[in-house]
């Protein structure tokens, strides 16, 4: 029994030993014989069957991924904006007169 989550589709059977129905002696195929797609949370159905692919759990997991992706993009904009505004303020305070070479990384104008 899985410790926390059993995400395997129902089409997977659990045979304890090698089966004579396995196609080759190095692929334990028989446990998966009734499956097509058998990834985590997948329905185990045949691809394209009746035009449907996934069932509830797999779709929920997918939508969680979509929500995270959108959140990451928004966070990227907000986070970078904060860093740039802070850096610009720091550069303005420490900017030397425009008569010599510009401040370089690690040089006079480096505020970090």
Partner 1 sequence: MIGSLLAQVESLKDAASAAGQTQDSAILGEQFYFFTVVIMWLIHAGFMSYETGIARRKNALATAMKNILTIAVVTPTFYYFGWWIYNCNQPGLPIGPNSSDFTAAACQGGIPWSDAFGPNLTNNINLVFFLAFLLFSWTTASIMSGAIIERARLSAYLLLACALGSVVWILDAAWGWSAGGWMTLRFGFHDSIASAVVHGVAGAFTLGVLLNVGPRIGKYTREGLARQFRPHNLHMTLLGLMLIFTGFYGFYAACLVIASTAFPGWANIYLSPTTLGSIAMIITMGFAGGFTGGYFASRGDPFWTVSGGLAGVISVSAGADFYAPTLGYLIAMGSAAMVVYIGNWIEKSMRVDDAVGAVAVHGAAGFLGIIWVGVFAAGYPTGVNNVDSSIGGQLIGVATFLPLGFLTGYAMSWVMKKLNILRVPPEVELMGLDVAEYEPNLYLPEVAVASEQLVEPDGTAVDAAVVLRTARDEVVI
Nearest to 34 by CA among 24, 50, 21, 51: 21
Contact footprint for partner 1 (CB under 8 A): 32, 35-40, 42-48, 51-54, 58-59, 62, 65-66, 69, 72-73, 76-77, 79-81, 83-85, 87-88, 91-92, 95, 98-107, 109-110, 112
Q: Which tokens sit at 9?
A: 């589709």
Closest separation between CB of residue 18 and partner 1, Å? Answer: 19
Residues with Cβ within 8 Å of residue 44, at least 6 apart in sequence: 9, 10, 11, 12, 34, 35, 36, 37, 38
Closest separation between CB of residue 6 and partner 1, Å? Answer: 17
- If the CB atoms of residues 17 and 52 are measured against partner 1, the closer one turns out to be 52
Q: Which tokens sit at 108?
A: 């006079």
Q: Is 64 helix (H, G, I), strand (E, B) or coil?
A: helix
Closest separation between CB of residue 103 and partner 1, Å? Answer: 6
- If the CB atoms of residues 25 and 104 are measured against partner 1, the closer one turns out to be 104
């Amino acid at each position: 029994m899985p410790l926390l989550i059993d995400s395997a589709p129902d089409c997977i059977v659990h045979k304890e030993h090698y089966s004579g129905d396995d196609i080759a002696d190095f692929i334990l195929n028989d446990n998966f014989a009734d499956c097509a797609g058998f990834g985590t949370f997948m329905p185990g159905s045949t691809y394209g069957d009746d035009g449907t692919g996934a069932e509830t759990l797999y779709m929920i997991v997918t939508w969680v991924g979509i929500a995270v992706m959108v959140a990451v993009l928004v966070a990227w904009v907000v986070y970078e904006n904060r860093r740039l505004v802070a850096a610009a303020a720091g550069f303005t305070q420490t900017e030397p007169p425009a008569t010599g070479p510009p401040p370089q990384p690690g040089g006079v104008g480096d505020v970090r």
